[in-house]
Amino acid sequence: MTRSAFSKGTIVIKIHVDEHKCVGAGQCVMAAPQVFDQREEDGVVVLLQDHVDPPLEASVRKAVKLCPAVAIRVEEA
């Protein structure tokens, strides 16, 4: 998706997860359930959206801070 997919001039963030680092704590799911989920069999993070617009940005950044495994990172897209 591009910036224009959301609104003119709006910065969109791209989310990256490292499944190998994930310890299944679920903090990301609690912080941003619209963006993250967990696999039933082992609790590893599942990324539901890899780009989010401004209304979800704060939740995603909170998830990044809460992740005990440092398995999530964001970049401006």
- What pTM does this model have? 0.84
Q: How buried is residue 21: exposed, middle or buried, by Cβ count under 10 Å (0-12/13-18/19+)?
A: middle
CATH number of 3-76: 3.30.70.20
Give one DSSP letter per residue of 6-21, joined into a string. TSTT---EEEEE-TTT
User: Tokens 């617009």 correspond to what residue?
Assistant: 53
Residue 9 has pLDDT above 60, yes or no: no
Question: pLDDT > 70: what percent of the chain?
Answer: 88
Higher local confidence (pLDDT), 5 or 60? 60
Domain ranges in the chain are 3-76
Report pLDDT for 6. Answer: 40
How far apart are alpha carbons 52 and 35 in whole angstroms? 8
Q: Mean pLDDT across the stretch 28-53?
A: 97
